[in-house]
Amino acid sequence: MILIINSGSSSIKFRLYDIQDKNKPKDILEGLAERIGVDGFWSFKYDSTKHEFNDKLPNHKVALKLILDKLIEMKIIENYNDIEGVGFRVVHGGTVSSSSLISDDIYSSIVDSTKLAPLHNPGALVAIDAVKAIMPDAKLVASFDTAFHQTIPKENFLYTTPIEWYENHGVRKYGFHGISYQYILKNLSTILKKDCRKVNAIVCHLGNGASMAVIKEGLSFDTTMGLTPLAGLMMGTRSGDIDPSIIEYMSKELKKDVVEITTMLNKNSGLKGISKISSDMRDVREAFYGGNQNAKIAIHKYTTIVADFMVKYANYLNGEIDAIVFTAGIGENSDFIRTQVLDRVNILGLELDEKLNAYSNDYEDYKLISTNKSKSKVYAIKTNEELMICLDTISKIYLRSTK
Ligand code: AMP
């Protein structure tokens, strides 16, 4: 079996896969430990039944040990050795270009990248340390959200800041959501019956965090997020791209330091900041239907920004687009947002099929939502980052291929 861990500073999301068929891992259990270091609550779903526990969780190691021991007690595993590999989601891997077995070097890269992702990488590191201590024989693999974007050419990943900022401090675009893009590309290759290395696509990963990527001949060519996940699209609570001088200006106006202003750009901006209703698209959409002006502006801005990047990325592909994909919470589910976005793309000859696009959760993995007159195919595809990490972990442990 393979255990997948997505760990934050006070939470651990986990999923267990049966990998008897290494090409088709079977998802057998998923759970969440929360409020680690505060008090503690954890639960998991197994065989359609939810199991809940109120154990005290002083740290990640105690939480993981409780989870693993419960799996043994319930005879889901016989002992720790049944779990041969553990795959970790790591948000920032700096310039590491693929998922990797966690060697000393890779561990150091994760530590080094912590200053670029101070909210995310420490959570992964404490979970890695805990698993190393509890399961010394398991093989550990890190899947990075940044890795997929390491193929972005220098002209695209450099900022227009002094070159020494890049050379001496690593200031460049890294990009995120790479595990999701990798999964979407793999699925697109199957859907289109086309070699991964030939696929040209524009992918809109629209969740609470949101980004877009342009994939040129199977490689990331550009993406909207940057040095950090704050850049690019307007998101649930993040501003996306803004004039950088706003930070100094608002720091003086509000008499707050740069860190506090950046926190406001991360937590109080985007859909939440503009609509003043919620960071959740469903709430903003309801208010939009109710005629709320703030919600109208928020949705107009949100969808215009996605549409503008779509046009820019289509230009990068010379208009030769095999597929435009909507994925993640909003992209997979919101026919409303997909329609609003494509209504604002005027020059690509795209046409949604109203019936195919209509909201329904009747699709398993993907659905085509464009008409046959549309110049490019448009799809909604359900992303599955845990499965992608599991497949990566299998390939690193058993197949030792690089990608
Ligand atoms: P994620 O971060 O991928 O879980 O996505 C979260 C976002 O997806 C939130 O803004 C939700 O409001 C949005 N979302 C989930 N389901 C729907 C839906 N049926 N219609 C519109 N937005 C949705």
Out of 333, 338, 340, 386, mutate this one to test ligand 1's pocket (max ligand atoms within 8 Å of CB): namely 333
Helix (H) or strand (E) holding 143: strand 139-144
Residue 360 pLDDT = 75
Residues (pLDDT < 50) of the chain are: 401-403
Q: Which of 47, 105, 112, 145 is catalytic?
A: 145
Beta strand 201-206 with 323-327 is: parallel
The model's pTM is 0.95
pLDDT of residue 400: 57
Residue 50 burial (CB count, 10 A): 9
> What local confidence, expressed as pLDDT, does residue 9 receive?
87
Angle made by CA atoms 71, 73, 78, in degrees to the nearest 5: 65
- Pairing of the two strands 139-144 and 85-90: parallel
Q: Answer for the pair 296, 254: CB distance below 8 angstroms, yes or no.
A: no
Q: How far is CA 125 from CA 86, 128, 180, in A?
A: 13, 5, 21
Query: What pLDDT score does 401 carry?
Result: 46
Give the model's pLDDT for residue 13: 96
CA of 330 to the centre of ligand 1 (A): 4
Other C-beta atoms closer than 10 Å to the C-beta of 27 total 14
Closest atom of ligand 1 to 285 CA is 21
SS3 11: coil
E strand or H helix at 275:
helix 270-275
